[in-house]
Every structure is written in structure tokens, then in C-alpha cells.
Structure 1
Amino acid sequence: MARDNFFPPQLITFYRELEKMAVPEDKWQVEEAKLKTWNGKEPLVKEAPPEIDPEFFLAFTAKVFDLLQKHLPDLGPGLELVKTNLPENLEEVKRLAQALCQRDPIAITWLKDPASVPPDVFGFAFSHVTRLLLGAYTRKVRGSVNFSSWERGECPVCGAKPLLARLKRTGERFLYCGVCGMEWRFVRVTCPFCGNDSPGELGFWEGAEGYRADVCYRCRAYLKTVDERKHPEEGASLFWEDIKTVALDFAMLGKGFQNKAFTAS
């Protein structure tokens, strides 16, 4: 069943237009030395954050917000509050951009009057800005940094929990980060959320052909998986695969499992 039956069509249109927005490489930079000395103890963006041109950040944010208001007009009042409270000092704008890219929970405090801004609107609006910025960052660092020694369930680039997984035709499993777009190899028979590796407490539920949900009976988490051994398209965009498989989300939630990509703990 297609996600379009559940997902607001105006939001799908928004995502299609958002995907066309590019982040030029000359508008941000990262210290190459920090990339080379990354030791894998913390997600890369914590140790080697991108430094984003503050004027570009403000202009880029305005474009994303305008697109949101176009397709989701109900957000208008909240977005206006975020806009009017953006810092004017360019050094503070840089700090806000860095805090957002590092997924710092106190990023909102860089606004002029944080208490007047709805946190849910702030988080939702800037999640789209951050996804594009971190997506550009990930594409750049992926060719410069060796992530092969990373064995944890959270993203090696930004530290987010995985949103989906890809089971390749070779049998390898790759986890996918919905925040920055990174994919990294992870062991097959282990829950990426709690580390459970007991085969008797792990399993999967079949969805439509080529899709399944890997589950952990210990922490009650599920992870949607594109099984490329059965899927007609190898290397499909996992961002859009997530959008196409919301029926599987509803099915797993109905069975008492959780999508832990969106939980704090």
C-alpha cells in the first residue's frame, strides 16, 4: 500500500520541491585536519562541524520557510515567530547553524526570544534546513573519512538513530540516517537500538514485496528494511522508500513496536 494514502499530498509536493534545493560547496567549509584525525569516538559532526556562511544560512533558511508556508499554510504564524526571532548578529547566526548541524538540543536558545517560539515549529522547520545542510556535508566527507571501524547503531556522521535499513543482495545490512543521509554497514543479527544480539529475541515481519520490518522483542523497536534481494530497484533512495512504506509503519505500531528513530532515549 502506498504511503500517499496516508501522507498529506501537499507535504509530498513540498519534499519534491525541497529536493531540488542545492547547498553550494563554497558556502560552507570544514577543517580537513579534523576529518583526518577523527578517531571514531564521537559522531564526526561533533568533532569536525561544518562552518556555514551565515548570510547564506539566513537566505537558505528563508527559502525553506517560504516553501513550507506555501505548502503548509497552517504553519504560517509559527514560522513567522521563528523568522522574527532569528539572530541578527552574524556570529550568533553561525553558532545557531552549528548547533543545528550538531543536533544540539539547546540550539533554540540562539534565537532572540526563544520563549516566544513554539519548540515544535522550530524543530520541524529547521529539520528540513538541517537535512539539506547535513546531506551536503555527508556527501563531502564520505569520500574523505574511513567509517569502516564504526560499529555502533547510531549514525557515524551526526549521531541520529537509523530510520531505515538496506539489505543488499550480498547479504550485508546498511543502516540509513534520515537526518543526514549517511548509510553505514552494521551487523545483521543485532538490534541497532539496544544492542540485543540474541537470535531468539530478534525477528522480522514481511511487508509488501521487497520490504520488511526487522524487530527486537527486547526493546520493542522496529526498523523498516528494503530487501534488495527481492526489491526490483537496487540502490533506491531510502528517503523516498520511507515515504512509500508508511503502511508498514502503521502495521508495526499496531503490533506494539516503536519507531525509535523518533524517540529521545
Structure 2
Amino acid sequence: MARSNFFPPQLITFYRELAKMVVPEDKWRVEEEKLKAWKGEKPLVKEAPPEIDPEFFLAFTVEVFDLLRKHLPELGPGLEQVRANLPENPEEVKRLAQALCQRDPIAITWLKDPAGVPPDVFGFAFSHVTRLLLAAYTRKARGLVDFSSWEKGECPVCEAKPLLARLKRTGERFLYCGVCSMEWRFVRVTCPFCGNDSAGELGFWEGAEGYRADVCYRCRAYLKTVDERKRPEEGADLFWEDIRTVALDFAMLGKGFQNKSFIAS
């Protein structure tokens, strides 16, 4: 199941270096009262968006871009186009940062010349910037917010679809968001993508080392799952588990199932 045969080694090195980058607590803020008052009607980041220091955001973005260029030099020209079009006005920078954190599809319009920027490079590059920013936001939120009332398959923080799942030794299932690193409890016998709860239309494909893929025969989705009941240790980092299990992705795609975490909501 090792992903090393499939995943570009330079990208693995990039992720390892990216994981060392820190988002200081004094460079962003959120109204804690809004976090505490959350009732689960909308994703948290839309009700209580983070306000990120514009100077830090620009410097942090450039640092991530430089790291990407180091390990994926073929992205260099596109990254330069994005960098050259970053807004300079602090208020516009704040709006860009907030739109990215809220996964607003028109975030690119806050650039100076959106038409002159490759949308795919914009999306790929900023996905790494916002993942770190939102991970910091999620860590803070989990200490202040009661997420127990959230029963949806989408992430309660940013509304993204789940990337992986974790089956705890208690039998509880937790979904994992690859956008903001949130984990939330979700009913076992239900597809998080289409809501199908018919046991006869749900199943799983067993893999090695405690990995499996839960599948829905109605919407043809699969969700990679780490079954901690079959592993010696608990608390695996699901970001890296995703990287280790790309062979399972290929296997499920070959069986006609879809990874719906990559399909826009």
C-alpha cells in the first residue's frame, strides 16, 4: 500500500518542509464570542471568519510559493504570474485572505489582473497557504466550539467534503477534512456524500495494514478509512495516511468508484 511508487518524491519533501511552517497566533484573530455562539446552521468559517494580518499573509504566501518553486520548478512561471498580481492595498489583501479561507469561488477576483493568472496554479498554490491558515483556525475553534450537533457529511468548519475517515476502537467513525484538518463524528452506516443509509447499498473493500475503503453503490463514492481497531497505535496523522494510501485510490478508481472529496461542493 506504500504510496512511494505513485506519489512524486519531490512533493513528499515539499509537504514535509511545509509542515514546519508556523502560523503565529498574533498574526490573525477571530471573534471568540462568535465561535462560542455557533449553532451549526452554517459552516463555522462563514459565521466567524478569521481576520489575518495582511502583511503577514503576503509574506507567508510568498514563502509558500518559494517552497513550491523549489520542489516543483515547472510551476515557476505560473507562480510568478500569481505573485505579480497579489493585491497591495491592505483591505484588498484581507478580502482575498478571507475569501480563500471561506472557499469562495470568486477569490481570484481580488487579484490585480485575474485574467492574467492561470486558475489551476492559483488554486493549487493557495490551497497550501489556506490549509495551514485554516488548520490554525481549526485548532483554536476545537477548544471553544461544541461540534456535537453537526450531523452533516461536509466539514463543520469549512464545508469541504471529507478526504478520509477514522474508525476508532470504540467503533465510532470520524471524518477528516483535508482542507482545514478538522475531524468530526459521523454516523457509521451512512454515505457522507449522498446521505444514503441503506445498508444493502453500502459496503467496504478491505486493504492491508488497517486500511479500507468504504463505498456507496448508489452514488459510486469511496472514502479511504483508517481502521484503528486493526492497528497497534491510535491517532495516526490522516494527512500522511492519505499520502501513504494512493495505491488504494488507484484500486478504487479502477473499480469504478469516485473520490468525491475533489469534486467541488
Query: Does the pair score TM above 0.5?
Result: yes
Q: Which residue of 2 aligns with 1:152?
A: 152
Aligned-residue offset at 1:233: 2.4
Q: Which residue of 1 aligns with 2:227?
A: 227
Alignment of 1:27 with 2:27, yes or no, is yes
**Could you give the per-residue CA deviations for residues 176-230 of structure 1, whole angstroms, max 9, x where no partner exists?**
0000000000000000000000000000001112000000000000000000000
Alignment of 1:73 with 2:68, yes or no, is no
Q: Distance in 2 between matches of 1:264 and 1:152?
A: 16
* Contact 1:162 1:177 (C-alpha < 8 Å) held by counterparts: yes
Task: Report the 3-state secondary structure (helix = DSSP H, G, I; strand = E; otherwise coil) of the residue aligned with 2:62.
Answer: helix
Q: Which residue of 1 aligns with 2:14?
A: 14
Task: Report the 3-state secondary structure (helix = DSSP H, G, I; strand = E; otherwise coil) of the residue aligned with 2:41.
Answer: coil
Report the TM-score, using the length of structure 1 for normalisation.
0.99
Alignment of 1:124 with 2:92, yes or no, is no
* Contact 1:211 1:231 (C-alpha < 8 Å) held by counterparts: no
Aligned-residue offset at 1:36: 1.9
Q: Distance in 1 between matches of 2:197 and 2:53?
A: 44
Aligned-residue offset at 1:264: 1.9
What letter matches 2:15 in structure 1? Y
**Could you give the per-residue CA deviations for residues 8-35 of structure 1, whole angstroms, max 9, x where no partner exists?**
0000000000000000000000011211
Q: Distance in 1 between matches of 2:264 and 2:102?
A: 15
Q: Which residue of 2 aligns with 1:182?
A: 182
Q: Distance in 2 between matches of 1:54 and 1:264?
A: 27
What letter matches 2:114 in structure 1? P
What letter matches 1:96 in structure 2? L
Task: Report the 3-state secondary structure (helix = DSSP H, G, I; strand = E; otherwise coil) of the residue aligned with 1:184.
Answer: strand
Aligned-residue offset at 1:243: 0.2
Give the 4+ runs in structure 1 shifted more than 2 A.
none
What letter matches 2:59 in structure 1? A
Alignment of 1:111 with 2:111, yes or no, is yes
* Contact 1:160 1:179 (C-alpha < 8 Å) held by counterparts: yes
More moved, 93-102 vs 31-40: 31-40
Q: Which residue of 2 aligns with 1:98?
A: 98
**Could you give the per-residue CA deviations for residues 93-140 of structure 1, whole angstroms, max 9, x where no partner exists?**
000000000000000000000001010000000000000000000000
Q: Distance in 1 between matches of 2:35 and 2:149?
A: 15
Q: Distance in 2 between matches of 1:206 and 1:251?
A: 11
Report the TM-score, using the length of structure 2 for normalisation.
0.99
Q: Distance in 1 between matches of 2:215 and 2:130?
A: 29
Alignment of 1:252 with 2:247, yes or no, is no
Q: Which residue of 2 aligns with 1:242?
A: 242
What letter matches 2:113 in structure 1? D
Stretches of structure 1 lacking an aligned partner (at least 5 in a row): none
Q: Distance in 2 between matches of 1:232 and 1:19?
A: 25
Q: Which residue of 1 aligns with 2:210?
A: 210
Q: Distance in 1 between matches of 2:209 and 2:53?
A: 45
Aligned-residue offset at 1:232: 2.6
Q: Distance in 1 between matches of 2:77 and 2:232?
A: 43
Stretches of structure 2 lacking an aligned partner (at least 5 in a row): none
RMSD, aligned CA: 0.6
* Contact 1:189 1:202 (C-alpha < 8 Å) held by counterparts: yes
Q: Distance in 2 between matches of 1:232 and 1:7?
A: 25
Q: Percent identity?
A: 88
Q: Distance in 2 between matches of 1:233 and 1:74?
A: 39
Task: Report the 3-state secondary structure (helix = DSSP H, G, I; strand = E; otherwise coil) of the residue aligned with 1:214.
Answer: strand
**Could you give the per-residue CA deviations for residues 52-100 of structure 1, whole angstroms, max 9, x where no partner exists?**
0000000000100000000000000000000000001010000000000
